Structure 1
Amino acid sequence: MQTLFNNYSSIIVFLHVISAVLWVGGMIAIRFAIHYSIQDIQEPKIKLERTLENLRRFFNMVIPAILIILLTAIIMIISLNLKQSSLHSIAIAKESIWTIMTIVFITIYTKRNKAQKYFENNDFDNCKKQLAPIAKYFIPLNILLGVIAIYLGVTLRGF
């Protein structure tokens, strides 16, 4: 693993950072741009349909990013010997945040899939009930955690 990191450290760090940017930046775009533009749609069925489609496309982009974050984090923790470093606590805090974010993401993913099933059965009220906490609580929470994790990552790279 050390040789891999020594030979490809720039690529590994780049993939880690760009994946974090895609995940956190994607959530910011969904919450503060797309969410509000969808609110202008008057027809409830179309509004729900667009929301479900946007989340599906977001997941297609973010799932590989989450996997890349995990893989590159493992490579960096092992290669940089962070367990033996004074930076170990920062690395643990950062990876704990990404773990919490992943759990929240799985919750979002599950709620979206339940909402899709309700939508397909023309149960728009339950569909909306599944989607509402995603925009109101889960995405804002993950944005906050993601910004903190990115800051900790910058702190780690600065040392």
Structure 2
Amino acid sequence: MSEFFNNFSTLIIFLHIISAIIWVGGMIVIRFAVHYSMQNIEDPKIKLGRTLENLKRFFSMVIPSIILLVTTAIIMILALEFKGGELYKFVILKEIIWSIMTIIFIVIYIKRNKAQKAFDNADFASAKNQLTPLAKYLIPINIVLGLFAIILGITLRGF
């Protein structure tokens, strides 16, 4: 694994970083730009439909990014032999954070799918109820966790 990493380290680190940027940056854009611009839409049906479509498109970028982030993280952990070293606690903490973020993402994904089903059945109140915790709690929590994980990554690269 070390030889593989040595031959492709720039690409592996780039893919790892760009994946984190897409995931965390995408959540920031969804929450603080798209969400607020959606508030200008007065028709609740159109607003819900657009929100569902935005999340669907977001997921199509984020799911591959999460897979790539995990894959590159495993490669780096193995190749750089962090286990047992003084930095291993940072690696473990990053793994915990990204794992929690993934669990929250799965909840977001499930809630979005439930909202889509409710929307398709013209149950707009239920669709809105499924989506509300995403903007209020789940995405902001993941943003904070993601930013903290990025800081830890910078710390690991600095050593």
Q: Same fold (TM over 0.5)?
A: yes
> Does the residue aligned with 2:40 lie in a helix, a strand or coil?
coil
Task: After TM superposition, give the deviation of residue 84 of structure 1 in Å.
Answer: 2.3
Task: After TM superposition, give the deviation of residue 85 of structure 1 in Å.
Answer: 1.2
Alignment of 1:40-119 (within 5 A): 40-119=40-119
Distance (Å, rounded) in 1 between the aligned partners of 2:85 and 2:65: 27
**Percent identity for Structure 1 against Structure 2:** 64
Task: After TM superposition, give the deviation of residue 3 of structure 1 in Å.
Answer: 1.4
Cα offsets for 1:81-133 (capped at 9, x unmatched): 00021000000001110000000000000000000000000000000000000
Task: After TM superposition, give the deviation of residue 23 of structure 1 in Å.
Answer: 0.3
Distance (Å, rounded) in 2 between the aligned partners of 1:39 and 1:133: 16
Distance (Å, rounded) in 1 between the aligned partners of 2:2 and 2:154: 21
> Does the residue aligned with 2:83 lie in a helix, a strand or coil?
helix
Distance (Å, rounded) in 2 between the aligned partners of 1:115 and 1:3: 47
Distance (Å, rounded) in 2 between the aligned partners of 1:22 and 1:85: 30
Question: Is 1:21 matched up with 2:21?
Answer: yes
> Does the residue aligned with 1:6 lie in a helix, a strand or coil?
helix
TM-score scaled to structure 1, two decimals?
Answer: 0.99
Distance (Å, rounded) in 2 between the aligned partners of 1:52 and 1:22: 19
Opposite residue 50 of structure 1, the aligned amino acid is R
**CA RMSD, 1 decimal:** 0.4
Q: Give unpaired runs (5+ residues) of structure 1.
A: none
Task: After TM superposition, give the deviation of residue 139 of structure 1 in Å.
Answer: 0.2
> Does the residue aligned with 2:78 lie in a helix, a strand or coil?
helix
Distance (Å, rounded) in 2 between the aligned partners of 1:57 and 1:3: 37
Distance (Å, rounded) in 1 between the aligned partners of 2:96 and 2:11: 23
Q: Which runs of structure 1 show a deviation greater than 2 angstroms over 4 or more consecutive aligned residues?
A: none
Opposite residue 39 of structure 1, the aligned amino acid is Q
Q: Give unpaired runs (5+ residues) of structure 2.
A: none
Distance (Å, rounded) in 2 between the aligned partners of 1:5 and 1:65: 19
Matched residue, 1:152: 152
Distance (Å, rounded) in 2 between the aligned partners of 1:148 and 1:88: 16
Matched residue, 2:126: 126
Task: After TM superposition, give the deviation of residue 33 of structure 1 in Å.
Answer: 0.2
Distance (Å, rounded) in 1 between the aligned partners of 2:94 and 2:144: 13
Matched residue, 1:36: 36
> Does the residue aligned with 1:143 lie in a helix, a strand or coil?
helix
